[in-house]
Amino acid sequence: MTADVREPVESESGWGVLHLFYRVDRARAEQEPGGARRALDAMAALTAPRPGGESSVESQPHQVLTFVALGHKADLGVMAVGPDLARLQTFQRDLERAPLVPTWSYVSMTETSEYSTTEDDERARLAAEDGITDPAEVEALLVVWRERIAHYRAQRVRPTLPRRRTICFYPMSKRRGGPADAGANWYALPFDERKRLMAGHARVGRGYAGRVTQLITGSTGLDDWEWGVTLFADDPGDLKEIVYEMRFDEVSARYAEFGPFVTGLLLEPAEALRRVGLSE
């Protein structure tokens, strides 16, 4: 048996993200006991550190979350994140050894937003909203701002997946206009207008800080939609509320198109597999 030799596939701009959805093959699960163990072994192999690898990417963290899906779109959901796309693909292949049948998947990458606030934006905000123009005071506040924005950007690109109780995933795209509404073309808007609109959209999201954790990942050129949105919350009602409120914002109301939603209960891997009927 030959070893699985492969070169890491990494990007300078972000980490790979896989959303994998499965139903359990009940007949195979009965014929092949230990299906949960095969899935758990695949997860352990993905998340195990690999110090001393030829590429630094091999020693960086890869993470897995598991959830049982509500409704009939899937039995089990798996979210895997990490810098090495080849390692993620190996994980996807290893999961096939368990009695799991894919129902859907989504591929995206972590990214920073092109509409992120710049230092000049923050200086202007301090002057316009807070009336702060003294150079020394502005600089002191900017030191704190730089630390906060650096943490935010790092979390967008190299996220630590949160341990909440519920999860919701959906893909989305921005409209390009059509016969019924040629004016609803996001990509025809000037950059400054798009940035202004996204700033208002972001304010809605910040209103749920502490209640909902959002991970927006890019999929233009990688999958059927342009972004994947993953929401995490302890209270499932918060998932419903944030999406409902954001739909009234112009960015969503006029320019957004949404794909299917999958919602589930986040559980430790062994418990999630037990809940869907797989034993060790």
Residues designated as active site: 170
Query: What is the distance between the alpha carbons of residues 221 and 144, in angstroms, rounded to a whole number?
Result: 36
Question: In the numeric block, which tokens belong to residue 29?
Answer: 């699960």
Q: Following DSSP, what letter does each residue of 140-195 receive, concatenated?
A: HHHHHHHHHHHHHHHHHHS------SEEEEEEEEE-B--SS-TT-BGGGS-HHHHH
Closest CA to 45 of 112, 106, 98, 90: 90
Contact 170, 229 (CB under 8 A): yes
Q: What are phi and psi of 19, to 5 degrees?
A: -110, 115
Strand partners of residue 213? 232
Is residue 109 within 8 A of residue 230, CB to CB? The reply is no
- Which residue, among 42, 87, 4, 14, has the nearest Cα to 270 in the 3D structure? 42
Query: Which residues have a Cβ under 8 Å from the Cβ of 245 and sit 6 or more positions away?
Result: 204, 207
Instruction: Copy the structure tokens of residue 257.
Output: 């198109």
